[in-house]
Structure 1
Amino acid sequence: MSRSPDPDPDTAPPGLTGKILIAMPGMADPRFQRSVVLICAHSADGAMGLVLNRPLPEIGFADLLDQLGIEADTTSRSIEVRFGGPVEPGRGFVLHSVPEHGDDPEGRLRIGRALAMTTTRDILEDLAHGQGPEAAVLALGYAGWGPGQLEDEMLQNGWLTGEGADDLIFGTDNDAKWPAALRAQGIDPSLLSAAAGRA
C-alpha cells in the first residue's frame, strides 16, 4: 500500500481520506458502537479505515515483537496496540507521524500532510530500537467497506464525519475519544444518546 504524496487529480480519492467517522447511537453493528474510525483510503472501489478508540490491553507491543522475532533493546518504544477493525485481525498497521514533505517509501500510505500508515516490518524494527516516527500506534485488523457501502451507511445515519486530530489518533484516553469527537462537531453526546432509539 503505497501512494504518491501528490496523487493525480483524476485518480485522487474522494474527500473522506484522512477524515474520521464517528459512530452514531443507532449504529447497528456492535463492533463499531461508540467507535471513532480514521479513513485511511477511500475511492470508488471502497474504503479502508482504522478504529482509533479500541485498545487491546491484553496484547503488548513487546509480545508482538517477540511473536515476529524482532529483538527489542532497552530503548524500545512503548506503543499502544489497538483493535483496528474486524477484517484481517492478524495483520498489523502502524499509524504514525511523518514529515510534511518528502517521498513515501514502499509500504507507506500517506493519509494526510503529516500522517501515514505503514505495513512493513522495518518500522517495527525501528520502534523496537527507540527510533522511527515521533508518534505511532499499532492497529491489528482494519475496517473495510465495498463500493458504495460506506456512503450507504452514512446516508442511513450510521456515521458522522469530522476532521482527524492528533489527540484522537495518538491519544491514550480512549474512553474520551467518542464524546470528544462529537463535541468537536458541535454535538452534545448526552443529548445525542438520550435521543437514540426514538422514532
Structure 2
Amino acid sequence: MDSLRGQFLVAMPDMGDERFRETVIYLVGHGEEGAMGLVINQTLEDMRFTDILEELELGNKDELIRLPDRVKNRQVLRGGPVQRGRGFVLHSSDYFRVGNSYEVTDDIFLTATLDVLKAMAFNEAPSEALFALGYCGWSPGQLETELQGNGWLTVPFSRELLFGLPIENRYDAALGRLGITRASLSASAGHG
C-alpha cells in the first residue's frame, strides 16, 4: 500500500472503538514501521491554549493576560489516546526548526517542542497551526488491516479541512470531499 502520510482518515459509523467515533485524523506518518496521526476534530472542552502556556510556565501572568483573544481562546485538540500529556503542533511551513520540526509534506510540519508554543503565543508564527495533546498510533500492518475491515475512509489532503474550517464541521466536510453525507454513509462501504 502506498503511504497515506499527509492524508486524512475518517472513521466509519461502525467503528468499534468509541474513542474514534466520528473522528477525522491527519496522518503525519505511515510506512512499514506503522502509522501516526492526530485527531483534528475533537477538542478538550475544559482546556484552552493559555492553560497550557501557564502550566508550562511559558510566560508570566501579565504576558498571558495581554495575549490577544484569538491566542488565549485557541482550542486544544484531543489528538489521540497515546501519550495524552504530550503536545504536538501541526503547522504551516513558515515556522521550522532544524532538529525539532518534522516535515510531513512540503508545506505541513509537526513540531513537539516548547519553542513552537512560545512562537504561537508571542510571535504570531506559524501562521496556521493546530495544537493537540496525545496522538493515534498503529503498529506495522495494523492500519492496513483496519482499512481492509472498513474501519476508515481515506480523504485526500485539504488545507481548509486541516486549518480553515471550524472544528465541529470537519467530519461532515471530510465526508463531503468524498461526495457523501452521514445519511448516505453505510457501514458496509468497501475498499476494493
Which residue number in structure 1 is paired with residue 147 of structure 2? 154
Q: Distance in 2 between matches of 1:20 and 1:39?
A: 6
Native 8 Å contact 1:50 1:84 kept in 2: yes
Q: Distance in 1 between matches of 2:165 and 2:49?
A: 14
Alignment of 1:98-113 (within 5 A): 98-99=93-94, 105-113=98-106
Which residue number in structure 2 is paired with residue 41 of structure 1? 29
Please, which moves more after superposition, 76-85 or 135-144? 76-85
Q: Distance in 2 between matches of 1:107 and 1:130?
A: 17
Deviation per residue, 1:148-186 (Å, 9 max, x gap): 000000000000101122232124522221111111012
Deviation per residue, 1:120-163 (Å, 9 max, x gap): 11111112213320011110000000000000000000001011
Q: Distance in 2 between matches of 1:127 and 1:184?
A: 29
* Seq. identity, %: 39
Q: Distance in 1 between matches of 2:153 and 2:110?
A: 23
Which residue number in structure 1 is paired with residue 162 of structure 2? 169
Which residue number in structure 1 is paired with residue 122 of structure 2? 129
1:97 to 80, 84, 92: 92
Residue 65 (structure 1) aligned with residue 53 (structure 2): yes
Q: Distance in 2 between matches of 1:31 and 1:172?
A: 22
Q: Distance in 2 between matches of 1:183 and 1:63?
A: 34
Normalized against structure 1, the TM-score is what? Answer: 0.84
**Offset at 1:15?**
2.4
Normalized against structure 2, the TM-score is what? Answer: 0.87
Which residue number in structure 1 is paired with residue 15 of structure 2? 27
Q: Distance in 2 between matches of 1:46 and 1:55?
A: 25
SS in structure 2 at match of 1:95: strand
The residue identity in structure 1 corresponding to 2:85 is G
Q: Distance in 2 between matches of 1:171 and 1:58?
A: 22
Change (3 A) 1:142 1:43: same
Residue 184 (structure 1) aligned with residue 172 (structure 2): no
**Offset at 1:14?**
4.1
Native 8 Å contact 1:104 1:110 kept in 2: no
Native 8 Å contact 2:47 2:75 kept in 1: no
Change (3 A) 1:103 1:88: closer
Q: Distance in 1 between matches of 2:133 and 2:19?
A: 14
Deviation >3 Å, runs of 4+: 195-198
Q: Distance in 1 between matches of 2:125 and 2:188?
A: 46
Q: Distance in 2 between matches of 1:186 and 1:158?
A: 18
